[in-house]
Structure formats: C-alpha cells, structure tokens
C-alpha cells in the first residue's frame, strides 16, 4: 500500500487526548519516531495524537503498515544498551535450549553417540572458520570505531587551531572567526550529534561551516599576516576533510551479506551442539546456552560499534566541548 500526502487542513493541530489501544501498548515506540510514527499507527490515531510537526504522509490501518528494516533497527537502538543486551542474550539462550530439547526429543541419543567422532571433527572445522570470521569482523569494526572518534577529535582540533591563528588578524575578523567557530561547535553538540544518531547531517551546522569559509574568502591579509593566513587555510581544509569523513562514517560499514554470514554461522555453531549427547543432559544444556550467549554478545558488540554515533556505546563530542569550554569541559 503506497503512502499519500496529508492535506494541510488535516487534523494535525496539537491535541492531547488519550492514545489508542496500540499506542498504550508501545508508547515509547510511538514517541520515538515522531515524523515516522505514521508507519506504525492505525489511521484512527491521527486525531488523538500530539505531533511535534506536521507529518508529510499518513498510512492506512495497521495491518497494511510497512515495517522497514531501517525503522526496526532505529527502534532497537532507542532501547538502553544493558536492557537490549540482556533481552538478546536471554532470547538466544532460551531458543537454543528449546531447540536442543526438541531435537533430542525426536532423535535417538544412542545414534548421536555413534557419530561423535565424525561430528566432532566437522564441528572443529566449522568452529574455527566461524571464530576466525568473528574475530576478523570484531577487529575491523573496533578499528573503525576508534577511527571515527579520532576523526571527530581531529575536526575539533583543526577548528581550535583556526581560531587561535586568527588572533593575529584584525580584531573585527578575529572576532567574526571566533564567533563562527563557537557557533559551529555548539551546533555540532546540540544539533548535529543527535542528528547523526538518526543517520543524517544537520543543515544548520553545515551552513555555519560555509559561513566560516566565506569569512576567509572575503578577507585579504596584510603581508605580515600572510603566513598565518596560509596556515589557517591549511587547518580549515583539514577541518573540512574531517567533517566530510565524520558524516560519511556515521552509517554502518558491514554489508548485509556479512550479517547473513555472521548470523548463519552462529546458528550453525549452536545447532552443531545438538548432534552430541552427553551422559548428563544438564552439562550439554549448559554448554549450548553459554555458546549461544557468547555468540550473541559478540554480535551485539559488533552491531553497536558498527554505528559509532548510535546506541549505548555512541561516541561523545568531547573535542567540540573542549573547543567551546576549554579544559573545564573534560572535568
């Protein structure tokens, strides 16, 4: 079912009535998405919700709604890190133990014991392959996570250097540059950093960056100021490059095919434990549950680090806080 525009005269003026039954079930889910709320709500809710701004579209009843993977991921990132991690681990352990109990209910354990030698050899090969793949992805996303933090700090460092070098310019130009630097840092902290958690840049912050460049374009330095002007331009170019890299790096870098391999490999490793039958069932249940929990925790860590500006492990704009407030911001 396609979306269609809502007329400006529609019922989106601010109202504060009680939400519908579905809203009461998932109030946080509804409030998070603001302009995206129409994907999940039946049309009868529209006259009873308080919208922060006029939505661009509305959707038909809930059974026709579109649940896109991106919106589902946004919802998951909105949950606090400890809660989401605990839910993921508990679900994975329960599913793995339930699968083990169901499998052993229908399969003769004596037959499984007869094939332990072959199953053990194959499981060792599969386990090594999956462990290497998992370790490789963890290392890659960790390096990218650290790189994203370094890029943001370098951007703020270049910005601070521009302000410092501008102090040799005429007072009117120096004050204008300092004002732009502080306005940009404040806008990054208050506007663009939250916007990056939603995977988009902030136009107002970009406009301030363009204004800073315009100040340098319009300024004609005296011969004694030329060296400082050239150095300030180099710093400004470095700032611009780091800003571009920061914006590009806000999205995840792991392709969907890799996620299929990671999830499929984890499922296979857990399922392989079903092919063994120990004399004490409790021991096997413990082994299977711990393996499932370890795999889920590792995948959860990868997902968090793959989006450095989202979730509970998101980076903080400490570099821009330092530019704005000085060393006091680090206390």
pLDDT tens string 129-181: 999 999 999 999 999 999 999 999 999 999 999 999 999 999 999 999 999 99
Give the separation between CA 89 and CA 246, rounded to whole angstroms.
32
Tell me the pTM. 0.69
DSSP letters, 142-184, are HHHHHHHHHHHHHHHHHHHHHHHHGGGS-HHHHHHHHHHHHHH
What are the sequence ranges of the domains in the chain?
A: 4-67, 69-331
Specify the pLDDT at position 75. Answer: 64
Whether 51 shows a pLDDT value over 90: the answer reads: no
Q: Give CA angle at 154 (150, 158), nearest 5°.
A: 175
Question: For 108-117, how does the pLDDT look when each residue is reduced to its tens digit (9 = 90+)?
Answer: 888 888 888 8
The pLDDT assigned to 249 comes to 87
For position 278, what pLDDT does the model report?
84
With cut-offs at 50, 70 and 90, classify the pLDDT of residue 270: very high
pLDDT at 22 over 90: no
The predicted model gives 271-288 an average pLDDT of 89
Q: Which of 122 and 42 is assigned the larger pLDDT?
A: 122
* Per-residue pLDDT band at 50 (split at 50, 70, 90): very low
Could you tell me the two tokens for 167? Answer: 């102090």
Mean of the pLDDT values across residues 237-255? 90
46 pLDDT tier (thresholds 50, 70, 90): very low
pLDDT at 125 over 90: yes
Tens digit of each residue's pLDDT (9 = 90 or more) over 180-213: 999 999 999 999 999 998 888 999 999 999 999 9
Q: According to DSSP H, which parts of the chain are helical?
A: 21-25, 27-33, 69-78, 81-106, 109-114, 116-165, 171-187, 193-197, 203-218, 226-248, 256-272, 281-306, 318-325
For residue 44, the model assigns a pLDDT of: 37
Mean of pLDDT over the chain: 78
pLDDT, position 202: 92
Q: What is the pLDDT of residue 43?
A: 36
């Amino acid at each position: 079912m396609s979306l269609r525009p809502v007329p400006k005269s529609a019922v989106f003026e601010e109202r504060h009535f009680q939400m519908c039954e579905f809203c009461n079930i998932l109030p946080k889910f509804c409030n998070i998405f603001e302009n995206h709320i129409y994907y999940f709500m039946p049309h009868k809710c529209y006259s009873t919700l308080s919208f922060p701004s006029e939505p661009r579209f509305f959707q038909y009843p809930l059974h026709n709604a579109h649940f896109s993977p991106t919106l589902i991921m946004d919802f998951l990132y909105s949950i606090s890190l400890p809660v989401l991690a605990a839910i993921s681990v508990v679900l994975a352990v329960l599913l793995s133990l339930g699968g083990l109990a169901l499998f052993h209910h229908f399969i003769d354990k004596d037959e499984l014991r007869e094939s332990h030698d072959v199953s053990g050899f194959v499981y060792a090969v599969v386990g090594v392959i999956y462990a290497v793949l998992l370790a490789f992805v963890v290392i890659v996303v960790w390096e990218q996570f650290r790189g994203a933090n370094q890029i943001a700090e370098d951007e703020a460092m270049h910005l601070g250097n521009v302000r410092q070098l501008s102090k040799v310019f005429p007072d009117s130009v120096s004050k204008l540059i300092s004002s732009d630097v502080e306005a940009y840092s404040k806008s990054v902290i208050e506007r663009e950093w939250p916007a990056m958690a939603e995977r988009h840049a902030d136009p107002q912050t970009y406009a301030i960056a363009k204004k800073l460049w315009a100040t340098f374009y319009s300024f004609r330095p005296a011969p004694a100021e030329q060296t400082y002007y050239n150095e300030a331009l180099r710093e400004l170019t470095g700032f611009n490059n780091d800003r571009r890299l920061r914006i590009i790096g806000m999205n995840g870098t792991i392709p969907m095919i890799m996620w299929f391999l990671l999830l499929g490999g984890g499922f296979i490793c857990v399922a392989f434990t079903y092919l063994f039958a120990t004399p004490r069932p409790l021991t096997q249940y413990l082994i299977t549950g711990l393996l499932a929990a370890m795999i889920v925790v590792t995948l959860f860590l990868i997902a968090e680090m793959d989006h450095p500006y989202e979730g509970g492990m998101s980076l903080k704009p400490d570099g821009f806080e330092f530019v704005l407030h000085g060393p006091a911001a680090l206390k």
